[in-house]
A and B are shown apart, each in its own frame.
Chain A
Amino acid sequence: MTTQWHMLTLIGEDKPGIVAAVTRALFEFGLNLGETSMLRLGGNFTVMMMVSGEHNEAELRDRLKPVIEAQGMCLHIDPIKAHLHEHLVPNIQVTVTGADRAGIVAQVTSALAEAGFNILDLESDVAGTADKPVYIMQIAGVADVAVEVIERALVPLREDGVDVNVSAIETYIG
């Protein structure tokens, strides 16, 4: 029998102890955690967690309700098809900086998609100051094409005043 996984998405006002409270409730319910990602975004607590166990979505929701309400969080649950031990290793990274304006992410990622680049990880942030915001984005992914092909695909962005750096990731295995 294959493991039934659910993806839990939790967001709310950030405060100390949220992860401990939620993961304790999951543990006491007999659930296992798979891969998870927690980030603070704009001062909000956000986490996505793969969980597995003998439960259905309604039971999961009921069980988590007290802790979610106590923490003042929003919870979203999706049944997912998922597997562990199937990590893809990125071989190209792209970093982007530029004056913050609408459309940078769409332009960069569209160019990457057309060039055959599969994004595995993307993080973006707004640095600088309120009156002079700077957009910074880091992307790691896999592509079967050479770094130069990806670079060429991003040339129009450079001409548009966005600073784009493309480099190969040579993962050391030892």
Chain B
Amino acid sequence: MAILEILTLPDDRLKQVSEPVASYDDELRAFIDDLEETRLNGPAAVGIAAPQVGCFRRVVILDCSATRKPVPNHGRLVLVNPEITHWEGYEMGREGCLSVPDYTGNVIRATRIRLTAFDADGAPLEFDMEGYEARAAQHEIDHLDGMLFVDRVVSRRTDLFKRKVYQKGGKP
């Protein structure tokens, strides 16, 4: 087990697209153990993606089970070759990143997603995710495609609030 070095902006490697995992072997599982140890070592990191430690393979880890207020979640997930197969709705939420220290911003993400992936042994997985956990998966999968949340941050004056109230039938 080892804590790996986190790449931070403006490291161009964070823009690199990661390759699918081809073999589910001991080497992959050892790397996943290191990635998890690195996530737990980071300040308040909920998720982590392999390219953040300079390993350009399609592997992410997320664990939305420890939020201040409980949110719908599937516990700690190791997702290999994850694919989002369905998106629904959108909402704004605040994000930060181990690779972008001392900066948080608002990002619009799909509210509900369906996701397929494989576990560390190559067994297929499928999840319906919503809200915070769906946000986590979208943020981490972005890393696999060389995207950072700063590429998606919206102005603080971009206002979804009025629209949301309207949809709920609230007062104009």
Contacts and interface: CB of A to CB of B under 8 A. Distances in A.
Interface residues of A, number: 24
A97 B45 contact: no
A64 B47 CA distance: 46
| Main DSSP-derived SS at the B contact region | mixed
B54 to A, nearest CB: 16
A145 to B, nearest CB: 12
Nearest to A169: B94
Interface stretch (A14-22, A66-74, A83-91): A83-91
A174 B97 contact: yes
Interface of B: 42-49, 62, 67-69, 71, 93-98, 101-104, 132, 135-136, 139-140, 143, 156-157, 159, 161-162, 165, 170-172
B94 A172 contact: yes
Contacts of A91: 68
A52 B102 CA distance: 20
B45 A174 contact: yes
Interface of A: 39, 85-87, 89-91, 95, 97, 121, 123, 127, 134, 136, 138, 147, 163, 168-174
Contacts of A127: 162
A172 B156 contact: no
